[in-house]
Structure 1
Amino acid sequence: MKVGLHYWNFSVPSDPARITATLADTARVAEQSGFASFTVMDHYFQMETPNSAADEPMLEGYATLGYVAALTERMTLGLLVTGVTYRHPGLLAKIVTTLDVLSGGRARLGIGASWYEREQRGLGVPVVPVAERFERLEETLQICQQMWSKDNGPYEGRHYHLAETLCVPAPLTRPHPPIMVGGGGEKKTLLLVARYADACNLFGSSPEDVARKLDVLRAHCAGVGRDYGAIAKTVLALRSPLDDPKAFLAQAEQYARLGVTELQVMPDRDPVEFARRVGQDLVPQLSQIG
């Protein structure tokens, strides 16, 4: 079982002047401790939850990953996940390619249907109906695949029209950076996983819920003629592994039996301390699972 660090909160420590040093130290400790991936959110306002507010610190995701790329050598880097309405698809493919080239082939395109309307309205991003967001998501997946192929020709979709899909240099990762579609929507999201993705990402609400989502994905794969086994299964843990390490390891074993190969965990305290403790106490044991 691989472990990923999802760096979702720039509010700890509270001094904004320490954001850079804390991010850098966390990334270095995570890599030294055996974490396989490092992700950040694609938000411009912090999410509104019982424990966080919109006006808390937030950094743009791909610029953040570029910084982390310069500090690390091994971890896969990506957003969990890119909001489809935030960037034109051709530019998104170029952004991910740039990250892949500068990181030495470590980029992963995590993408999903955007949802946070407050930040969209606040920053002037067009808010479109949910059905249209999924149409745009499918076209974006098609455009990225075309830009990462030998086909430099035009793309004509309902929402996007590209005269050329030229992308030079090409990504270092072959055949292209892995595409991860995030979300568990059974009718649309998981169908797009079956059609286009190299990996899925599901919320780790429980092994039972994940098992049900994977059964739906398996059915979609059968329907479109896709090899279910070719899709990597990843899960975002919703609880801190440090709250109850034994229970976390037991649940990781359940996820592994379902075919999950990567768990992403989120710091619930100082991120440097979190990365160090998870790296010391759990990563070695998780690496033996599966």
Structure 2
Amino acid sequence: MTSAPRTVAVIGGGRMGAGIAQSFASAGSAVTVVESGEEAAAAALDRIVASLTRAEARGHLAEPAAEVAGRLAFVHAVDALDPATELVVEAVPEDPALKARLLKAAEAAVGGSTVLATNTSSLSVTDLAAVLHRPARFLGMHFFNPVPASALVEIVVAPGTSPDVVEAALGWTRALGKQDVVVKDSPGFASSRLGLALGLEAIRMVEEGVAAPEAIDDAMRLGYKHPMGPLRLTDLVGLDVRLAIAEHLHSTLGERFAPPRLLRDKVARGELGQKTGQGFYTW
């Protein structure tokens, strides 16, 4: 039987980091969240507690929300991590330099047996591994939003990743009650690459006046049994996030991933989706 790691650190307490922390705490792990200051840490804790409270009300927790929240701790710097931490998951925005800096700091703070993971949705795991002294202990663990409710974790294996690290990550994923998909490191992996291709084409259809966003989404929900359409999903993920991924894949895979003008214009206007109240839908 698989079991969750005893100790986990999550770097970043935003939507993704908070969800990852909640998932591991719900599975029994002691979780330390790294946030930059008291205000950010308090916001991350509020985010997790609110989500746990909703999960408890729906009967989705095996124990009271307060007990799960009691497994959370917060520190304000990566170098404050316990060297005995079993798993560190970096979950900061998709900025390669920021991720590399924090992963290097985490590797310096923890022991040689700690597994480091990045939650990147599209950046090169191989490039990030290149800044580390122990690249064999590093891989991608791509969680999906909202993390507590999503069944999938994409395990991204770089050329230097040790097989025992992959096996450990698979066991931890299953201990969370999630399912894994293993892919080798490549631009956009499997999920982001395919999901973005569909999302960009849907945006082009809106741009060209082919159909309204609701009609395009209904076509994919009703005809292809997608749980939600590509435009509503874009709003949920964030148009700025989708644009950043598109720009990365455009630079690595070519013109088929060129961001539509409509996507660029919406991001420039601050229409980022659910988090700002306006995207392809009004929230």
Structure number with greater CO (CA < 8 Å, separation at least 6) is 1
TM-score by length of 1: 0.31
Structure with the bigger percentage of helix = 2
